[in-house]
Structure 1
Amino acid sequence: MTAECPDASVATEDGEAERPARPDPSVLVPSLLAIDATGLMFWPPGKGLAGIPRVESFLINAALDDPDPGVEVVAFRPGQGRFRPLAPFEQDHVAAGEISSHRRKRWPGKRTALAQAFEAVRRHPWGKREADRHLAKTVTNGRKGIVYQATGLLIRICRLYQQARIWMGARPDAASQTAEAEPGLVLISHHILTQEDRSAVSGAAGRLAFLCHDLIPTLRPELLGASVGERRFGSYLEQLVRLGAPAFCASDAVGVTLTDHMRKAGIAAPVVYRFPMPSILHETASRMGATSRIETGEPFVIYCSTIEVRKNHILLARIWQQALEEGVKLPRLVCAGRWGWMIEPLRAFLKAHPELLQSITFTGLVSDEQLIQYYRSATFGVFPSHIEGWGYGASECLDFGVPVIVSTAPSLIEATGGLMPAIDSEDVQGWYAATRRMAEDHAWRSSLAERIAKQHRPTPASASWAAIKAGLHASVSRASNA
């Protein structure tokens, strides 16, 4: 579901960005739409992004580049129980490129920033140490050191003073009663669904929408371990739907799964907006002028994903081991991605068959530039994951014209448009036969590449952002008319 994005502007508490005033008070102006950057704030700057962080980075940067004054980028402040606009140093942390002049915030300097921090303490005297650390960073513009530590101590003393006054019967400062502009609808990050502070999804933080990448923590918890955050995922998701939060799904399969899960839980189905997954890496390659094929001396197979039990790398290890035992020459397997969790069986298999490392390369985390080079020169791709919400590595193969074998997970078939061969993730022999055929049958491989060229087109990031933004506006309108 999508809707046209109405032209609108709203005033905000941020005085640094010029925003048009409402021309006629009788004209309804939609509430501010906000993209939550909380999750990306925990990602180290300069590190390669994959999967969910890559999608969230696309959303945040699309919002930072959007001149529409009705769009904001925020982060959740547990000490206040609210979403607040990013500070200048936070914008720099999450920005992948230039920030629109309409959105760019300027650091006001230590003196002004300190005064603003004290004002924030007066407004929210019961904030915790995490809130004080954040305020100290706003004063030092994200820099740490002696000044940061001294500022944090000063802010803490100010907070304790305010609390002591209240305990002694003094009224809170008038500033704490000042109304503050808040986002009308926040599209929350995945981090909010797995964090410890339930207030973020309680409804007290305002109206929320969520990206439903998948329901794997609820449907297949055995593939993710037993972290506290993942165990909370299902209950947080259900709480959001009960509150009427709309869901944004990149695949129809996930939308159907979400609706079915809520039905079984006795909860009314959420409004689901479908958006096309953006071809982020291909768009980066296009800007670099690096989308054409590169011929390499040695053929190889690409599998781009985090190395974890759900991604089923052990199936590929068994296939390449069987080929070695049968004297079959398969191309080198290149596994691009960082090492993740629950991979002890894979490590044990590799240790028991050390000769496999002659045929399989684990690259670790790679840069976008390196990954683009891999896609441009790969013979074909594989993606045998047990369950997916989308399967970026599979759709990226098609973006670069690379045939790929996928598992029969519905989202993977959807991500590849039903154009590629699909085999059950538990069918080792089926995968072995298809891998051999893809490696040996040049005509078949070429026919798949031709099918991609005729029927697949990369999705521009602008189209994805437009669909998401339209869905957010439609959700605001729906709530207004309810």
Structure 2
Amino acid sequence: MTVERSDAGAVIEDGNIATSSPILAIDATGLMLWPPGKGLAGIPRVESFLVNAALADPDPCVEVVVFRSGEGRFRPLAPYEQDHVAAGEISPHRVKRWPGLRVALSQAFEAVRQQPWAKRETDRHLAKTVTNGRKGVAYQATRLLIRFYRLCQRMKIGLGLPLDAASQPAGAEQGLALISHHILTQEDRSAVSGEAGKLAFLCHDIIPALRPDMLGAGTGERRFGSYLEHLVRQGAPAFCASDEVGATLTEHMREAGIAAPVVYRFPMPSILHANASRAGTTSRIEGGEPFVLYCSTIEVRKNHILLARIWQQALEDGVKLPRLVCAGRWGWMIEPLRAYLKAHPELPQSVTFTGLVSDEQLIQYYRSATFGVFPSHIEGWGYGASECLDFGVPVIVSTTPSLIEATGGLMPAIDSNDQAGWYAAIRKMADDHAWRSSLAERIARQHRPTPASASWAAIKAGLRESASRRF
């Protein structure tokens, strides 16, 4: 056995890296559920940034994992899973190569011997691992073979026959896992149990606990509050992009009679602007039809219906407003909005709903928008508002504290229920070129996009400090 110690304090045994420091793990479970090639927005965009920052980090103490519900623990990504989530370079320390069909099948059988009572979901994952993520006849045959082998192991247990020998599972390394939002909303309680290991969590917001009326009946996020409280009771630190969310989380726990969590504040990365910078597409595009941009999922708390009413009021008043472009996928509890649009068939003349758009198209929108709007009732951050500033676009926001924080207090803010105030501000922003220009100049003087490296450094430092406290 060859044993070497790297500069980072890692021990390399037979080509495998084992660290003498706690592993800092980033959970990719939620990102694995997002279809490859689809545009990312909101929470998936932030989690993609985190996962890819970890994959690119040469520090061998950093790992990327997914939660295996059949085993009740986090495991490093399989090769096909790395391919699924990777958006850039993967550090050589973490490159996973497919070992070949024979070795992969042997490893799958070993996993069955160690966990004979795992569910069908585990068999599907093992089959994907054996076939390196490829679907088709080979995958289906492998899945059936693994399932048959599992049933044989269970039959032997039932009959009291000797089982195929299973090696002892490798002991879990000490480490701290920063879990994905999916873990906070899924049904498998074992993901946040003490058995899953030491956990930290990204607290994008606590809207599911504060305003469940804005999520709709039957949503999985109803579990959010109890899981969040359980994590805090277990001592899990919170990573928040805004001071407002950190303060709200602390107050929420105080009201629940739970000791305040350790909160780490990290700057929200300007991911879209970084993509535009790499492509050389950050400068303004002048000319063309003026339009107002609202980039957000279309859901009840985002308050699109306020804007629909304002543009309808302008039509009735004979006021010419720029076209409103609402970029984002359709979400939940939008029946009142759909009913309003149906009742006012002339609105599509001045309001466009684009659906989910690519990063390239969204960058084009930001580069050419006259100004932005963000009238959301409640936010954890408000990516569309801060992205406006990243591209130098003035934006009107609601008075929800996180939006004011996301825009640095630089932009006009109006109560989300004040239709008259919004109507007046939108008309002024559309007509008063001098005011728009002064706001754009304010952005240029006082706002700078946040590099992803700064965000990752803050998160990694927080994880390292928390791990040093707990191990």
Tell me the SS of whatever aligns to 2:247: helix
Query: What does 1:395-474 correspond to in 2, within 5 Å?
Result: 395-474=386-465
One-letter code aligned to 1:102: H
Distance in 1 (alpha carbons) for counterparts of 2:44 and 2:174: 22
Tell me the SS of whatever aligns to 1:354: coil
Q: Go from structure 1 to structure 2 and tell me whether the alpha carbon gap of 1:38 and 1:348 turns closer, same or farther (over 3 Å shift).
A: same
Deviation for aligned residue 1:304: 0.2
Q: Note if 1:374 corresponds to 2:365.
A: yes
Distance in 2 (alpha carbons) for counterparts of 1:472 and 1:66: 14
Distance in 2 (alpha carbons) for counterparts of 1:173 and 1:314: 62
Q: Go from structure 1 to structure 2 and tell me whether the alpha carbon gap of 1:122 and 1:151 turns closer, same or farther (over 3 Å shift).
A: same
Tell me the SS of whatever aligns to 1:259: helix
Deviation for aligned residue 1:181: 3.5
Q: Note if 1:236 corresponds to 2:227.
A: yes
Q: Go from structure 1 to structure 2 and tell me whether the alpha carbon gap of 1:12 and 1:138 turns closer, same or farther (over 3 Å shift).
A: farther
Paired position in structure 2 for 1:59: 50
Q: Tell me if structure 2 keeps the 8 A contact 1:8–1:30.
A: no
Deviation for aligned residue 1:313: 0.3
Paired position in structure 1 for 2:4: none
Deviation for aligned residue 1:86: 0.6
Paired position in structure 2 for 1:291: 282
Uncovered stretches (5+) of structure 2, i.e. residues with no partner: 1-6
Distance in 2 (alpha carbons) for counterparts of 1:47 and 1:151: 28
Q: Go from structure 1 to structure 2 and tell me whether the alpha carbon gap of 1:460 and 1:46 turns closer, same or farther (over 3 Å shift).
A: same
Distance in 2 (alpha carbons) for counterparts of 1:67 and 1:40: 21
Query: What does 1:292-331 correspond to in 2, within 5 Å?
Result: 292-331=283-322
Distance in 2 (alpha carbons) for counterparts of 1:372 and 1:435: 22
Distance in 1 (alpha carbons) for counterparts of 2:9 and 2:69: 28
Paired position in structure 2 for 1:25: none
Q: Note if 1:41 corresponds to 2:29.
A: no
After superposition, give the CA deviation of every residue in 1:173-223 in whole Å (9 maximum; x if it has no partner): 653533334461100000000101000011110000000000111111111
- Equivalent in 192, 200, 223 of residue 201 of structure 1: 192
One-letter code aligned to 1:63: A
Distance in 1 (alpha carbons) for counterparts of 2:174 and 2:305: 45
Deviation for aligned residue 1:319: 0.7
Paired position in structure 1 for 2:249: 258
Distance in 2 (alpha carbons) for counterparts of 1:396 and 1:437: 22
Paired position in structure 2 for 1:214: 205
Paired position in structure 1 for 2:144: 153
Distance in 2 (alpha carbons) for counterparts of 1:159 and 1:244: 37
After superposition, give the CA deviation of every residue in 1:13-61 in whole Å (9 maximum; x if it has no partner): 9x7x653x66xxxxxx321111000001111000000000000000000
Q: Go from structure 1 to structure 2 and tell me whether the alpha carbon gap of 1:427 and 1:278 turns closer, same or farther (over 3 Å shift).
A: same
- Equivalent in 213, 216, 230 of residue 225 of structure 1: 216
Deviation for aligned residue 1:90: 0.5
Distance in 1 (alpha carbons) for counterparts of 2:169 and 2:266: 38
Q: TM-score, normalised by structure 2?
A: 0.96
Distance in 1 (alpha carbons) for counterparts of 2:465 and 2:285: 44
Q: Go from structure 1 to structure 2 and tell me whether the alpha carbon gap of 1:8 and 1:268 turns closer, same or farther (over 3 Å shift).
A: farther
> Which structure has the higher relative contact order (CA within 8 Å, separation 6+)?
1
Q: Go from structure 1 to structure 2 and tell me whether the alpha carbon gap of 1:448 and 1:80 turns closer, same or farther (over 3 Å shift).
A: same
Paired position in structure 2 for 1:391: 382
Between the aligned residues of both structures, percent identity stands at: 82
Tell me the SS of whatever aligns to 2:34: coil
CA-atom RMSD, angstroms? 1.6
Q: Tell me if structure 2 keeps the 8 A contact 1:301–1:333.
A: yes
Distance in 2 (alpha carbons) for counterparts of 1:176 and 1:260: 48
Distance in 1 (alpha carbons) for counterparts of 2:169 and 2:441: 63
Deviation for aligned residue 1:479: 1.1
Deviation for aligned residue 1:62: 0.4
Q: Go from structure 1 to structure 2 and tell me whether the alpha carbon gap of 1:12 and 1:202 turns closer, same or farther (over 3 Å shift).
A: farther
Tell me the SS of whatever aligns to 1:453: helix
Deviation for aligned residue 1:8: 4.0
Distance in 2 (alpha carbons) for counterparts of 1:314 and 1:327: 20
Deviation for aligned residue 1:122: 1.3
Distance in 2 (alpha carbons) for counterparts of 1:234 and 1:181: 28
- Equivalent in 118, 126, 131 of residue 117 of structure 2: 126
Q: Tell me if structure 2 keeps the 8 A contact 1:35–1:74.
A: yes
- Equivalent in 335, 341, 347 of residue 350 of structure 1: 341
Q: Tell me if structure 2 keeps the 8 A contact 1:10–1:31.
A: no
Distance in 2 (alpha carbons) for counterparts of 1:281 and 1:321: 32
Paired position in structure 2 for 1:248: 239
Paired position in structure 2 for 1:4: none
Paired position in structure 1 for 2:263: 272
Distance in 2 (alpha carbons) for counterparts of 1:286 and 1:414: 24
Q: TM-score, normalised by structure 1?
A: 0.94
Distance in 1 (alpha carbons) for counterparts of 2:132 and 2:168: 27
Distance in 2 (alpha carbons) for counterparts of 1:254 and 1:136: 41
Tell me the SS of whatever aligns to 1:372: helix
Deviation for aligned residue 1:167: 3.0
Distance in 1 (alpha carbons) for counterparts of 2:16 and 2:21: 18
Deviation for aligned residue 1:12: 8.7
After superposition, give the CA deviation of every residue in 1:425-470 in whole Å (9 maximum; x if it has no partner): 0000000011011111111111100100000000000000000000
Tell me the SS of whatever aligns to 1:341: coil
Uncovered stretches (5+) of structure 1, i.e. residues with no partner: 1-6, 23-28
Q: Tell me if structure 2 keeps the 8 A contact 1:84–1:182.
A: no
After superposition, give the CA deviation of every residue in 1:82-130 in whole Å (9 maximum; x if it has no partner): 1001100011111112322222111111111001111111111221111
Q: Tell me if structure 2 keeps the 8 A contact 1:242–1:268.
A: yes
Distance in 2 (alpha carbons) for counterparts of 1:121 and 1:409: 51
